Amino acid sequence: MATSSIVGMIFGLLLALKYIVLLAEARAFFVFGDSLVDSGNNNYLATTARADSPPYGIDYPTHRPTGRFSNGLNIPDLISQLIGSESVLPYLSPELSGQKLLNGANFASAGIGILNDTGVQFINIIRMYRQLEYFNEYQRRARALIGADQTTRLVKGALVLVTVGGNDFVNNYYLVPYSARSRQFRLPDYVKYLISEYRKLLITLYKQGARRVLVTGTGPMGCVPAELATRSTNGGCSAELQRAASLYNPQLAQMLKGLNMEIGKTVFISANTQQTHRDFISNPQAYGFTTSKIACCGQGPFNGLGLCTIASNLCPNRNLYAFWDPFHPSEKANRLIVEQIYSGTTKYMDPMNLSTIMTLDARA
């Protein structure tokens, strides 16, 4: 047989496989965490932590703000695309019912942290313990729709994403000089405390039925435009926040490993987002960015001061910027992060990447 016809056959087979995958019921997806993954819950709350006015959403399919802290799609949207389902709705959305409910839900809320006292200045936000309570409520609603057995199966078969922790530094420990937490703890002890509180939250999630949980670390917090604008001397990253990230991320990965050992299964998968960010911060041109220091939308040095609003400087081409606003990656950067989550080596994904998880779970 000619090589070209073999290639044609394989190609046809791949198309057929893709079709079967699309016909199969898509896997549910649940998201917990902060603004990096909030898809609009805060639109429904009385809080200042919101992204529901222009130019947020300028590159979203509707070109309108949605509550996502991005010019376009965010990390959960891009993961949904990879697992072959629609973006999951914010839990507070009135549209979340019927078939849409069975697709999963996004519980994330901008401004929150691992600790209850993180983000107090944002007033009304959905803290982690509350996001987990909503997950129970979600399951009650699903049981009413499809019964207990199917709900258990839906939750155990689901993919879960948890992104939280950055605000416990930026909007708590380092929010003001001599913050309550910084007077209470030295940085290394604060990190230990955060990890132990995070561990409790993840155990609750496991008890609620979660069986495949992607947990992202923090990015290089000292290098975001907001920190370059306020803490940096000579344009370098803030040493103190970089120290925090370098203490926190490895201990998070260790904690997840320990949980898996105790459970006896790979439930928690650690995504080394610090490494992904470090790649495009140290060599932005290699990823098609003209800068990883200046935010696309903002004002002041590095466009890193204040909020991104209609009155801010706005770059014409968002794909050239690693940061959309002073704290949040652009859609393009989110794509790079999700690419690593999907197919990264063990340097990025411990113990395995999402493509491997999907292969394993499809066999189970």
Ligand X SMILES: *[C@@H]1O[C@H](CO)[C@@H](O)[C@H](O)[C@H]1NC(C)=O
Alpha helices (H) along 54-179: 75-82, 98-102, 128-146, 148-156, 166-168
Annotated active-site residue 35? The verdict is: yes
Of the residues 35, 80, 93, 270, only one is catalytic, namely: 35
Q: Determine whether 325 is an active site residue.
A: yes
Rounded to a whole number of angstroms, the minimum distance from the CB of residue 64 to ligand X is 34
d(CA 279, CA 286): 9
| 133 near ligand X, rule: CB under 6 A | no
Catalytic residue among 34, 292, 328, 350: 328
User: How far apart are CB 286 and ligand X at their closest, in Å?
Assistant: 20
Query: Closer CB to ligand X, residue 199 or residue 278?
Result: 199
Cβ neighbors of 101 (< 8 A, separation 6 or more) are 138, 141, 142, 145
11 vs 129 by CB, closer to ligand X: 129
Q: Answer yes or no whether residue 19 interacts with ligand X by CB under 6 A.
A: no
For ligand X, the closer CB: 240 or 339? 339
Residue 358 contacts residue 350 (beta carbons within 8 Å): no
Question: At closest approach, how far in Å is the CB of 327 from ligand X?
Answer: 24
State how far the Cα of 95 lies from the Cα of 101, in Å rounded to an integer: 9
Q: Report yes or no: 78 and 336 within 8 Å, Cβ to Cβ.
A: no
DSSP 55: T
CA distances from residue 234 to 136, 223, 238, 326, 362 in whole angstroms, order as listed: 49, 12, 10, 18, 51
Q: Are strands 104-106 and 297-298 parallel, antiparallel or unpaired?
A: unpaired
If the CB atoms of residues 96 and 159 are measured against ligand X, the closer one turns out to be 159
* CA dihedral for 253, 259, 262, 263, sign (positive or negative): negative
Binding part of the chain for ligand X, among 156-164, 264-272, 308-316, 344-352 by CB under 6 A, reads 344-352
- Please provide the distance, in angstroms rounded to a whole number, between the alpha carbons at the two ends of the chain: 35
Interacting positions 165-204 with ligand X (CB under 6 A): 197
Give the one residue of 42, 172, 299, 353 binding ligand X; rule: CB under 6 A. 353
Select the span of 2-10, 87-95, 247-255, 342-350 touching ligand X (CB under 6 A): 342-350
Active-site option among 38, 59, 168, 325: 325
Interface size with ligand X, residues (CB under 6 A): 10
CA dist., res. 78 & res. 74, Å (int): 6
| Dihedral angle of Cα 85, 201, 174, 248, to the nearest 10 degrees | -80
Could you say which of 116, 150, 282, 283 contacts ligand X (CB under 6 A)?
Answer: 116
Residue among 346, 358, 360, 361 that touches ligand X (CB under 6 A)? 346
Binding of residue 356 to ligand X (CB under 6 A): yes
In the complex, minimum distance from the CB of residue 343 to ligand X, in angstroms, rounded to a whole number: 3
Among 46, 129, 263, 310, binds ligand X (CB under 6 A): 129
CB half-sphere exposure, 66, CA atoms < 13 A: 24
Residue ranges that bind ligand X, judged by CB under 6 A: 116, 129, 197, 343, 345-346, 352-353, 355-356
Catalytic residues: 35, 325, 328
